């Protein structure tokens, strides 16, 4: 297994298939100085290990204030219950409420992993097309990017002139049972291309850089579908 790693100043990979559990999505950490935020939480069996990884990177887990759900699939939100029990605020777009708060199995895709999802309340509800989340002295922009799911977001932040995009599940998969919409997805992907990100932190396949490789990655899936 790989160790947690620094991606860029104040951005880290703390969980994922090669770090915590093969069923986890990639779990990222944003260091806002006096506050930390997770981008997704994995399937839910690696939460203690994620906290340990934060500590091993020299950061203080007690500063963890937010767990941002990019969308409502269980490999991304399964750990929300644990982190909320530790005082971390759950952040999600209102259009993912059916999965995150109601735990509807067709929306969480829990059936695919054959595990039970524990629903949580949403402490900070994101609304509209371009909501922002302050994380310490940073701003995590959370544009709505539907397609994979109805209320998926693709957070990004700018640090030292570098734009870092958390583009979870750009690659799909797509299924009408959980609200996939290919027309919306194509529009969302074009929106992500317009961001001209320098680094892509993808939901399952790791880190892509520089900007030319980020663009090629997104364009390849647009061509495929």
Q: What tens digit of pLDDT does each residue of 158-205 get?
A: 999 999 999 988 988 999 989 999 999 999 999 999 999 999 999 999
Split at pLDDT 50, 70, 90, the class of 1 is: confident
Place of tokens 């906290």: 51
* Alpha carbons 121 and 68: distance in angstroms, whole number: 13
Backbone angles phi and psi of 74, in degrees to 5: -65, -25
Which residues are bridge partners to 15 per DSSP? Answer: 27
CATH of the domain at 155: 3.60.15.10
Domain count, the chain: 1
Angle at 176 between CA 175 and CA 182, to 5 degrees: 80
Task: Return the percentage of the chain with pLDDT > 70, whole number.
Answer: 100
Which domain does 43 fall in, by range? 5-224
């Amino acid at each position: 297994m790989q160790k947690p790693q620094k991606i860029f100043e104040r951005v880290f990979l703390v969980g994922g298939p090669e770090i915590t559990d093969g069923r986890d999505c990639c779990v990222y950490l944003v260091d806002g100085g006096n506050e930390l935020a997770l981008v997704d939480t994995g399937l839910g069996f690696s939460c203690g290990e994620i906290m340990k990884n934060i500590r091993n990177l020299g950061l203080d887990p007690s500063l963890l204030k937010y767990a941002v759900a990019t969308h409502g699939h269980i490999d991304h939100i399964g750990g929300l219950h644990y982190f909320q029990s530790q005082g971390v605020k759950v952040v999600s777009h209102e259009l993912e409420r059916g999965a995150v708060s109601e735990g509807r199995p067709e929306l969480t895709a829990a059936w695919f992993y054959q595990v039970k999802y524990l629903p949580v309340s949403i402490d900070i509800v994101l609304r509209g097309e371009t909501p922002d989340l302050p994380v310490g002295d940073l701003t995590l922009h959370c544009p709505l990017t539907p397609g994979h799911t109805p209320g998926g977001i693709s957070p990004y932040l700018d640090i030292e002139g570098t734009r870092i995009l958390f583009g979870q599940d750009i690659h799909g998969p797509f299924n009408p049972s959980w609200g996939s919409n290919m027309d919306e997805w194509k529009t969302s992907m074009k929106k992500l291309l317009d961001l001209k990100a320098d680094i892509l932190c993808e939901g399952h396949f790791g880190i892509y850089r520089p900007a030319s490789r980020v663009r090629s990655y997104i364009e390849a899936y647009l061509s495929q579908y």
